[in-house]
Amino acid sequence: MDADLIRRGLDTLANRDTQVADGLAVVGYPEPRIRAEGFPGLLAIITAQQISASAAAAIRGRLQAIADPMTPEAFLALDDDALRAAGLSRQKVAYARGVAEAVIDGRLKPARIAGLSDDEVIETLAGLKGIGRWSAEIYMLFSLGRSDIFPADDLAIQEALRRLKKLEDRPKPVEARALVEHWAPWRGVGALFLWHYYKGAP
């Protein structure tokens, strides 16, 4: 999703939801988040699991310094010590090696994923160890640019939604999805806004 699409989507949401309009007046429009498709994008998502965005960015930079471009073959050629020194946990090294091997042996065909429906992408990627629904949804948002994907399991999104909607408690995933159902077909743009709101709202 580029900046023009994000702006168009959020303007639509602001006209539809006064709380989005109020939040947008406070924090403005978020920047695009664009990741590569295929193994590099999936590696970035594995890297980002359960850590802050800034920590993930630092690790991505160190990985790029030791292998650029980061192909599945290049990743598998790196030893565990080098990957651990770059900041990947032992578990994430194993997950990423599994994804790299799946691409190389043809079990995972990144070019085919782009043509699948949202549910099919989730089913395909969630079949890989270390890739769950959240990771598959992040891939669709950042690597495939799908503008109606809402990763409701994300804690920052839940907290931002709590603040934006002035809720007492952080909504559970099913509650979060219900709260933004009227944002369709711009729920992915709304997710980008909620991350931005989480960081920028007082």
pLDDT digits (tens, 9 = 90+) for 137-147: 999 999 999 99
Domains, the chain, ranges and CATH? 3-33+149-200 (1.10.1670.40), 38-142 (1.10.340.30)
The predicted structure's pLDDT at residue 16:
95
Separation between Cα atoms, residue 73 and residue 43, nearest integer Å: 13
pLDDT score for 18: 97
Low-confidence ranges of the chain (pLDDT < 50): none
Q: How far apart are the first and last CA of the chain?
A: 26
Tokens in use for 201? Answer: 């709202």
pTM higher than 0.85: yes
DSSP string for residues in 170-189: PPPHHHHHHHTGGGTT-HHH
Q: Could you give the residue numbers annotated as active site?
A: 154
Q: Is the Cβ–Cβ distance between 101 and 120 less than 8 Å?
A: no
Q: Are 76 and 105 in contact (CB under 8 A)?
A: no
CA-nearest of 23, 45, 21 to 33 is 45
Structure confidence at residue 169 (pLDDT)? 96
Q: What is residue 69's predicted lDDT score, i.e. its pLDDT?
A: 92
